[in-house]
């Protein structure tokens, strides 16, 4: 990988650790069709503890790399704007607002001393406010902080996440509420900030709060037997259906569901794949993404090297496609179609309906380890 | 190899650990060509495993026949013979069990063959009810497959054949004796059926892995397919340490409980582990009893003979340690220093698994990727 990376940088005419490619070149390299003009953006890493936010086009050609001070995680896209929020993965201290077309740093967010960022951020639909999940580690309490993008990203409020260890959050289709996956894991910077300190007593949940007041609107948890299923990642369909992926903190051989569907106001409905796929999910789900139709969602399972696909209508398993170390997942604008990335440097276009996987043709993608989450930018 | 005293054992482990750490490959090494993984797949999946599945099927068929013969004219000698056949079938099952892939796990088959661990005591609870109600479905050789997984495989048969209160009833010509014989016969036939399915389904599954390539939606390359074998080795040791040994060990000597082990009634919890280790070492070595060939397993991908020798030495130390222990954890925990001996052995297994993670996983490049190892 290092060799490929050096070669790629050489071809780009630079020898340094990161490259900013002018948008004009990026656009010139992009193919013509509407779908092919989409860009994809993700946190990434090199081979030497060097971390980036990187974008590539639909062929897998890298458009820019912006160096980060530490490992990133997910990205929040500001609607109708160039801003993209990159928040350090847990226990994170920095947040950067970047230009999605060039990677240029537009603003910096500093985490308060008694808080740590947890890697996920989302904007309000008018783009005014940015919401970030955080850990109030001294009180083992989850926080959603609120930042005013129109006021130089000033931190203006924080809400209770109504759980411990909040991770991914999304805006609900009403535009007025946020759904938060409270993973249930308590961590503390004194113990490296990542080691779970409460495996025996963890209580994960999904919570929906009013994004203006922080008031709890809905909350649901799995049954008590499954309290070690950390609910960490989720996506929301246009009709408000929430798909969630779990990470199990118990034994490897325990038979537990790893995926759930939630209609707020009801119970979380756990769903399982056939045994031979369920085992290969290795008790661990990464990204969750609905397709363009909102009828199919994909869940990546990097430990098992699989992307699993699920049907909302039947609340059932649809199919799976092998994707070694695959984790990043973004929906294209075609129903059932996704783009996925891997820590090994691969990028694929995948069709869940036809069970098909095609490698993105441009090898420059292989110069990086692609991190957990991938976002699509319509250009 | 003679039993090593604890001090010498620790010193040896420490020395070999240093040796292996010293030999650890540098971070930036050339990728192993994908075609190098293919012979390993072909050997382990195509040469080594099929005869073992045949042996498992033969052993369960023999067990089923022996139960029928015994039940035709029950006596103590016959019961002893059936118990021996149970142990023979269980031995080969325990060798196959850690290869958790394909038909072994499809449709919950591994759990139907052996429902374990039974964290909530489901089998005991259901078994009590079963003996009270004696439903006909449990003596039906076809329909027993539709019943609870906890009541249709090896652990249920173990209760029938080895439980101090139940097994003597097998010799009686009364309602309990007739039911238990019919039930045991149905379990035997069910095990024979399930292991037959394994034999039938394995070749297609193995072919899919051996023909890994970009067009396969299951195995896009041979390396990815070989990862499942590496995982079986790694997870097999993890399950031994954390469950097969960890559950009876509990949180400390006062919390120890032999009944939480696997197969406590037939007093073969550690014998199970010995056979698990045989099946697991075959993944590394390529030779499994009379089957296969040394050096054609994952070890074929290790380019350092010193690292290979070190791993084999540590594995041998672990199995030598186990050889010094009784077959039964019940018996071991009854000894004054039994808990410590069991804890020491669990430590050895965990140590060997660190070598699997670090050395075998690293050198074969099968040990997991950027996201798989450190996600969020």
- pLDDT single digits (tens) A61-107: 999 999 999 999 999 999 999 999 999 999 999 999 999 999 999 99
Q: Residue B29's pLDDT is what? A: 63
Cross-strand bridge partners of residue B287 = B292
* Residue A33: pLDDT over 90: no
Interchain contact B372–A (C-beta under 8 A): yes
Closest-CA residue to A289 (of A321, A325, A239, A331): A331
Worst-scoring range by mean pLDDT, A141-150, B116-125, B135-144, B351-360? B116-125
C-beta atoms of B376 and A232 within 8 A:
yes
Digit-coded pLDDT (tens) for A336-378: 999 999 999 999 999 999 999 999 999 999 999 999 999 999 8
Digit-coded pLDDT (tens) for A279-308: 999 999 999 999 999 999 999 999 999 999
The total domain count for chain B is: 2
Domain co-membership, B171 together with B254: no
Digit-coded pLDDT (tens) for B58-107: 999 999 999 999 999 999 999 999 999 999 999 999 999 999 999 999 99
Token digits of residue B55: 């042996």
Q: Between the CA of residue A51 and those of A18, A80, A286, B64, what are the distances in Å?
A: 9, 27, 19, 61
Token digits of residue A331: 């929906």
Q: What is the DSSP string of B14-69?
A: HHHHHHHHHHPPPSS-PPPPGGGHHHHHIIIIIIIHHHHHHHHHHHHHHHHHHHHH
- Helix (H) or strand (E) run with residue A40 in it: strand A39-45
Domain co-membership, B15 together with B56: no
Mean pLDDT score across all residues of chain B: 92
Domain co-membership, B176 together with B250: no
Burial of B17 (0-12, 13-18, 19+ CB in 10 A): middle
Q: Determine, yes or no, domain membership for B375.
A: no
Domain co-membership, B313 together with B192: no
Domain co-membership, B331 together with B251: yes
Q: CB pairs under 8 A, 24+ apart, for B42-46?
A: B42/B210, B43/B286, B43/B292, B43/B293, B43/B296, B43/B297, B43/B300, B44/B229, B44/B282, B44/B283, B44/B286, B44/B292, B44/B296, B44/B297, B45/B206, B45/B209, B45/B210, B45/B229, B46/B206, B46/B210
Q: Determine, yes or no, domain membership for B340.
A: yes
Q: Residue A36's pLDDT is what? A: 66
Q: Residue B364's pLDDT is what? A: 97
Q: Residue B16's pLDDT is what? A: 43
Q: What span, in angstroms and rounded, lies between the C-alpha atoms of B234 and A252?
A: 11
* Residue A18: pLDDT over 60: no
> The domain containing residue B65 runs over which residues?
50-199
Q: Determine the distance in angstroms separating the CA of B247 from the nearest CA of chain A, rounded to an integer.
A: 11
Q: Determine, yes or no, domain membership for B372.
A: no
DSSP B360: I
Q: Determine the distance in angstroms separating the CA of B262 from the nearest CA of chain A, rounded to an integer.
A: 14
Decide which of B199, B219, B241 is a domain's last residue: B199
pLDDT band at B10 (very low <50, low <70, confident <90, very high): very low
DSSP B331: H
Q: Residue B304's pLDDT is what? A: 87
Burial of B252 (0-12, 13-18, 19+ CB in 10 A): exposed
C-beta atoms of A324 and B220 within 8 A:
yes
Digit-coded pLDDT (tens) for A317-342: 999 999 999 999 999 999 999 999 99
Interchain contact A73–B (C-beta under 8 A): yes
C-beta atoms of B224 and A232 within 8 A:
no
Digit-coded pLDDT (tens) for B336-362: 999 999 999 999 999 999 999 999 999
Decide which of B199, B229, B260 is a domain's last residue: B199
Domain co-membership, B175 together with B268: no
Angle at A348 between CA A342 and CA A351, to 5 degrees: 125
Q: Determine, yes or no, domain membership for B204.
A: no
* Residue B24: pLDDT over 70: no
Q: What span, in angstroms and rounded, lies between the C-alpha atoms of A150 and B154?
A: 67
Token digits of residue A165: 């260890």
ipTM of the complex, rounded to two decimals: 0.86
Residue whose pair of structure tokens reads 């009403």 in the numeric block:
A174
Interchain contact B215–A (C-beta under 8 A): no
Domain co-membership, B111 together with B234: no
CB neighbours of B191 closer than 8 A, spacing ≥ 6?
B60, B63, B64, B89, B113, B153, B154, B157
Q: Determine, yes or no, domain membership for B120.
A: yes
Interchain contact B243–A (C-beta under 8 A): yes
Q: What span, in angstroms and rounded, lies between the C-alpha atoms of B263 and B259?
A: 8
Residue whose pair of structure tokens reads 């690292």 in the numeric block:
B307
Interchain contact B26–A (C-beta under 8 A): no
User: For position B68, which CATH number holds?
Assistant: 1.20.1420.20
Q: Determine, yes or no, domain membership for B45.
A: no
Give me the residue from A275, A305, A325 closest to B370, CB to CB: A325
Q: Residue A13's pLDDT is what? A: 33
Q: Residue B30's pLDDT is what? A: 85
By percentage, how much of chain A surpasses pLDDT 70?
91
Token digits of residue A138: 């001294």
Interchain contact A25–B (C-beta under 8 A): no
Q: What span, in angstroms and rounded, lies between the C-alpha atoms of A189 and A101?
A: 34
Domain co-membership, B137 together with B227: no
Residue whose pair of structure tokens reads 């990335």 in the numeric block:
A341
Q: What span, in angstroms and rounded, lies between the C-alpha atoms of A96 and A110?
A: 9
Decide which of B172, B199, B226 is a domain's last residue: B199
Residue whose pair of structure tokens reads 């409980």 in the numeric block:
B257
Digit-coded pLDDT (tens) for A246-277: 999 999 889 999 999 999 999 999 999 999 99
Domain co-membership, B109 together with B231: no
Token digits of residue A365: 């993608």
Domain co-membership, B217 together with B190: no
DSSP A365: G
Q: What span, in angstroms and rounded, lies between the C-alpha atoms of A222 and A228?
A: 10
Cross-strand bridge partners of residue A133 = A144
SS3 B177: helix
Domain co-membership, B266 together with B174: no
């Amino acid at each position: 990988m290092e060799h490929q990376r050096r070669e790629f940088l050489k071809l780009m005419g630079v020898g340094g650790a990161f490259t900013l490619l002018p948008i004009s070149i990026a656009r010139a390299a992009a193919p013509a069709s509407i779908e092919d003009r989409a860009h994809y953006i993700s946190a990434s890493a090199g081979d030497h503890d060097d971390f980036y936010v990187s974008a590539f086009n639909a062929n897998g050609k890298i458009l820019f790399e912006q160096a980060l001070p530490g490992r990133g995680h997910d990205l929040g896209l500001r609607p109708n704007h160039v801003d993209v929020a990159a928040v350090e993965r847990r226990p994170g201290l920095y947040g950067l607002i970047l230009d999605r077309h060039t990677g240029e740093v537009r603003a910096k967010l500093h985490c308060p001393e008694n808080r740590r960022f947890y890697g996920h951020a989302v904007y309000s639909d008018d783009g005014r406010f940015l919401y970030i999940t955080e850990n109030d580690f001294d009180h083992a309490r989850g926080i959603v902080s609120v930042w005013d993008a129109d006021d130089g990203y000033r931190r203006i409020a924080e809400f209770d996440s109504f759980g411990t260890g909040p991770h991914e959050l999304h805006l609900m289709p009403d535009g007025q509420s946020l759904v938060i996956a409270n993973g249930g894991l308590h961590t503390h910077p004194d113990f490296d900030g990542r080691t779970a300190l409460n495996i025996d007593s963890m209580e994960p949940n999904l919570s929906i709060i009013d994004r203006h007041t922080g008031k709890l609107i809905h909350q649901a948890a799995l049954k008590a037997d499954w309290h070690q299923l950390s609910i960490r990642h989720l996506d929301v369909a246009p009709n408000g259906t929430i798909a969630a992926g779990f990470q199990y903190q118990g034994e490897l051989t325990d038979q537990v569901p790893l995926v759930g569907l939630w209609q707020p106001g009801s119970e979380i409905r756990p769903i399982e794949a056939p045994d031979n796929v369920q085992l290969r999910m290795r008790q661990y789900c990464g990204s969750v993404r609905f397709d363009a139709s909102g009828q199919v969602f994909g869940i990546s399972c990097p430990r098992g090297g699989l992307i699993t696909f699920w049907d909302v209508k039947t609340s059932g398993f649809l199919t799976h496609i092998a994707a070694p170390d695959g984790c990043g997942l973004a929906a294209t604008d075609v129903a059932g179609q996704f783009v996925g990335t891997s820590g090994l440097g691969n990028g694929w276009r995948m069709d869940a309906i036809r069970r098909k996987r095609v490698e993105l043709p441009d090898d420059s993608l292989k110069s990086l380890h692609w991190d957990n989450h991938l976002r699509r930018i319509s250009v | 190899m003679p039993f090593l005293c604890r001090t010498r054992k620790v010193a040896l482990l420490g020395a070999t650990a240093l040796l292996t750490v010293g030999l650890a490959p540098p971070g930036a090494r050339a990728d192993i060509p994908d075609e190098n993984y293919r012979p390993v797949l072909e050997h382990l999946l195509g040469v080594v495993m099929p005869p073992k599945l045949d042996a498992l099927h033969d052993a369960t068929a023999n067990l089923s026949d022996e139960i029928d013969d015994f039940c035709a004219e029950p006596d103590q000698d016959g019961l002893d013979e059936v118990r021996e056949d149970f142990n023979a079938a269980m031995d080969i099952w325990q060798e196959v069990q850690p290869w958790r892939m394909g038909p072994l796990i499809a449709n919950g088959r591994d759990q139907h063959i052996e429902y374990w661990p039974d964290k909530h005591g489901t089998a005991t609870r259901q078994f009590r009810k079963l003996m009270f109600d004696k439903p006909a479905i449990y003596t039906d050789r076809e329909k027993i497959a539709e019943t609870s997984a906890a009541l249709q495989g090896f652990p249920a048969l173990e209760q029938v054949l080895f439980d101090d209160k139940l097994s003597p009833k097998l010799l009686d010509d009364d309602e309990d004796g007739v039911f238990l014989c019919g039930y045991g016969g149905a379990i035997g036939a069910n095990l024979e059926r399930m292991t037959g399915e394994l034999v039938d389904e394995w070749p297609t599954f193995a072919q899919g892995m051996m023909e890994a390539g970009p067009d396969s939606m299951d195995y896009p390359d041979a390396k990815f397919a070989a990862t499942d074998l590496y995982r079986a080795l790694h997870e097999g040791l993890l399950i031994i340490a954390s469950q097969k040994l960890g559950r009876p060990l509990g949180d400390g000597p006062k919390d120890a409980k032999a009944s939480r082990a696997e197969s406590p009634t037939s007093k073969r919890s550690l014998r199970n582990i010995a056979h698990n280790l045989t099946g697991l070492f075959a993944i590394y070595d390529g030779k499994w009893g009379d089957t296969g060939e040394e050096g054609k397993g994952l070890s074929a991908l290790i380019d350092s003979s010193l690292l290979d020798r070190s791993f084999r030495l540590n594995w041998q130390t672990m199995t030598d340690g186990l050889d010094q222990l009784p077959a039964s954890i019940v018996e071991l925990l009854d000894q004054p220093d039994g808990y410590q001996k069991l804890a020491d052995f669990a430590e050895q297994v965990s140590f060997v698994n660190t070598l699997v993670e670090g050395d075998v996983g690293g050198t074969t490049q099968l040990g997991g990727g950027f996201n798989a190892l450190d996600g969020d």
